[in-house]
Structure 1
Amino acid sequence: MVFPQTVTPLVVIIPFIKKQIPRLRDMLSRWSKIDYAPLDDGMSFIDEAKTDLIFFYNKGPNEVEEQINKILDELGIRKHFVKISFLYADLSEKDDVYPIATTRMFYRVIKDEELRQKYKYFFYMEPDTLTVRKGWMQALHNIAFNQKPFFSLGSINRGNFVNIEPHRMHINGNALYSFSDEHLSFLNELKKNVFFVFDLDPYMYMLSHYDALIKYWHQFIFDDIIMNMYKTGYSEKQLVLENPKTFFVHGGWQV
């Protein structure tokens, strides 16, 4: 299917660094297989599921763009998206360290005025996020646009490994996010109080500021469209069988 050039309210954004290109290739290769394809002819929303794709690199423009374009051509991925483009974080050496690098990159996206004007939601999808069934593009559109507005929608830690118990209470960074002004206002508010890593900060802030918690907690939706299996082994076959609404798995490893 080739989409016409029209408005695309949803964009998939893949943040990555150079050493993740092999993993990125593995993720994209799944999309070329019928069992993991972005679109499913048997599902609804196939005509409405118009989506763009952005590859978001931590540095500036270089040879990685050519490498990824070759992968896209080889795997036949382009046909699934209205537009595919590249975005660059241009991180300094000082900022290009974990976890501050992931936070800088996220805020580079959420504050980008061009992106904010064009899209309503974005799906932030690191290279270790795997699709586990086809029709995931339609599933993203269905869940993003057929319920009340939200700031973020994704998975709590569903794995067995937990570093710090209170940190478990947050949506993993691989999730759907709103470009709404209200969401950005909330993020600007919390940055004055906490600054650790972008996906954990909202919860650290709300759990220590009750007025913010009662005002914003409902904007964060825990959902099983994506499952965070942090540092945990799982059987893909069993996971798919037991979770019919799950389309993505992040982290962990298959056993």
Structure 2
Amino acid sequence: MQAREVRDWWSSLSGETAAGQAAWPAVSHFCALFKKTKRNRPSGSKFGGVDRTKRRVACESSFRLLCLKLLCKCVLVLACLVLFVPYDWWYRYITGPQPIADFPPNIYTECAPDDAPVRLALVMPMTAHELPRAVANMYSWAWDPKLVPCEEHPLGIAANSLADFYFYFDLPLDENDEIIEAVAMLERMVHELPPSTRRCFGTIGFLSANMTPAESRNAYRHSLVTTQVSTRGTVTQFYRLMLENSLLENRYTHAFYMETDTRPVRAGWLEALHRHADPSVWMKGSIMRYPKPTVLGFEPYRSIYLYHINGNAIYRLGCPCFKAFLRAVMATYRDYAFDTSMAFYRLEMRRYALFQRIAHRFAFTDVVADWCDHAYSSSELGRTYLVHGKANITRFDWRKLGRY
């Protein structure tokens, strides 16, 4: 049918109405499209002339593409489960928690007495390179009347010495000239302490972890699974103090681990530490007081990280149970940060049977606050006496004064 014949046919159907004339372009386009389709239609078999092999190849390609899409979806679902669902729950669901018999019994039995009188030591871990930090720390409170460690009684009677103070070096005290000079400088500063500060302390001395230079180095290697940082030097120095220092064990029941970036913010802070030292608690310190950080890692470690006790804390000394616990933590997490490692070890669901027996040995307190690198105001501190953080320290560039 030619175009003129089609138009005459349409006119006979619709007449010379305006509606018919308006619809004509659409009818003309449809007829042209139909004619083109008919002209290009292949002839031959019932499959329109398409080769059977090509059709089979096309079907196989479509099937492979479908399988690939399903595989990608499965991988995505698995990744979501691993990243957002605690895999420890799945592990426990399948295998059950470890029975208590799997843990050394001396972690929860034959512990030190819970009613022992408190004998406190302040320990400031440092390296020779951290001498400017230690000096800045001491000057920030030792000569400030508003930050005296212990206050006088209402009758004007000076308080007795509440604790001993130790500068705790990583290397032997006679390892090199740098350490010898650092010790000499700190000794001169101690001799110059004002009476209002000096009367609060008994002995002010020096300790060493007797590490080698290789052991003291920090690698700062990150674990993508647990979110932890490997700080071999810092971790080794801590474990040497808690597990191998017989001097502290024999003289004291507690030690406050006071890093060089932990500073008093209120008078009477040493008395507050002494009051909060509890013989029945192995570790008492601060939760993260700053806004929730972005934690990269797998569950359950991402969630547990938010509930760890910062390492600047009060620790129980000489308790066989706590020492057994620390040895188990050290064997499991080795060079990773000791404070988060302790949290991971006791809070993982597979160790729930052990957690039931030692949960009361760890406690949070507001006597010290962990603010890390975040700024804070006095209104946010409440009854806090010491702050661990660098944001409000402006006298030194702390980023350039770290462990080598």
TM-score between both structures, scaled by the size of structure 2: 0.56
Segment of structure 1 superposing worse, 162-171 or 14-23:
162-171
| Aligned residue runs from structure 1 range 94-243, under 5 A | 94-98=214-218, 99-111=231-243, 112-145=245-278, 149-160=280-291, 162=293, 164=295, 165-166=302-303, 167-179=305-317, 180-195=319-334, 196-208=336-348, 209-235=351-377, 237-240=378-381, 243=382
1:43–1:187 CA distance, 2 compared to 1 (3 A): farther
> 77, 80, 85: which one pairs with 2:200?
80
2:338 aligned counterpart, secondary structure: coil
Q: Distance in 1 between matches of 2:358 and 2:256?
A: 20
Kindly provide the CA deviation profile for residues 30-64 of structure 1, in whole angstroms up to 9, marking residues without a partner as x. Answer: 122111111112589x7465210110011221221
Kindly provide the CA deviation profile for residues 189-244 of structure 1, in whole angstroms up to 9, marking residues without a partner as x. Answer: 23332222211111111122212221212211011000000120112x3234xx02
Q: Distance in 2 between matches of 1:41 and 1:96?
A: 41
Q: Distance in 1 between matches of 2:202 and 2:325?
A: 31
Instruction: Give 1:91 shift.
Output: 2.1
| Aligned residue runs from structure 1 range 234-253, under 5 A | 234-235=376-377, 237-240=378-381, 243-244=382-383, 246-253=384-391
Tell me if structure 2 keeps the 8 A contact 1:49–1:141.
no
Higher helix share: 2
> 34, 42, 58: which one pairs with 2:170?
58
Kindly provide the CA deviation profile for residues 146-183 of structure 1, in whole angstroms up to 9, marking residues without a partner as x. Answer: xx610000001111263524322211110100012221
What amino acid sits opposite 1:139 in the alignment? A
The yes-or-no answer on 1:34 pairing with 2:161 is no
Q: Distance in 2 between matches of 1:154 and 1:129?
A: 12
Tell me if structure 2 keeps the 8 A contact 1:12–1:53.
yes
What amino acid sits opposite 1:182 in the alignment? C
What amino acid sits opposite 2:368 in the alignment? I
Tell me if structure 1 keeps the 8 A contact 2:118–2:277.
no
Tell me if structure 2 keeps the 8 A contact 1:130–1:249.
yes
Kindly provide the CA deviation profile for residues 110-150 of structure 1, in whole angstroms up to 9, marking residues without a partner as x. Answer: 121221111000000011101000111111111115xx610
Higher strand share: 1
Tell me if structure 1 keeps the 8 A contact 2:368–2:386.
yes
Q: Distance in 2 between matches of 1:68 and 1:21?
A: 9
Q: Distance in 2 between matches of 1:154 and 1:173?
A: 7
1:234 aligned counterpart, secondary structure: coil
Q: Distance in 2 between matches of 1:185 and 1:11?
A: 21
Structure 2 unaligned residues grouped into runs of 5+: 1-116, 174-179, 219-230, 296-301, 394-404
Structure 1 unaligned residues grouped into runs of 5+: 1-6
Instruction: Give 1:102 shift.
Output: 1.2
Q: Distance in 1 between matches of 2:161 and 2:204?
A: 15
Q: Distance in 2 between matches of 1:117 and 1:88?
A: 16
- Which stretches of structure 1, 4 residues or more, deviate above 2 A after TM superposition? 46-50, 73-80, 160-166, 189-195, 237-240
Q: Distance in 2 between matches of 1:218 and 1:43?
A: 36
Instruction: Give 1:17 shift.
Output: 1.5
Instruction: Give 1:67 shift.
Output: 0.9
Tell me if structure 2 keeps the 8 A contact 1:159–1:232.
yes
The yes-or-no answer on 1:13 pairing with 2:131 is no
Aligned-residue sequence identity (percent) comes to: 26
What amino acid sits opposite 1:189 in the alignment? A
Q: Distance in 2 between matches of 1:213 and 1:219?
A: 10
Tell me if structure 2 keeps the 8 A contact 1:124–1:175.
yes
1:254 aligned counterpart, secondary structure: coil
1:75 aligned counterpart, secondary structure: coil
Q: Distance in 1 between matches of 2:358 and 2:161?
A: 28
Larger radius of gyration: 2
TM-score between both structures, scaled by the size of structure 1: 0.87
- Kindly report the root-mean-square deviation, in angstroms, between the aligned alpha carbons of the 2 structures: 2.4
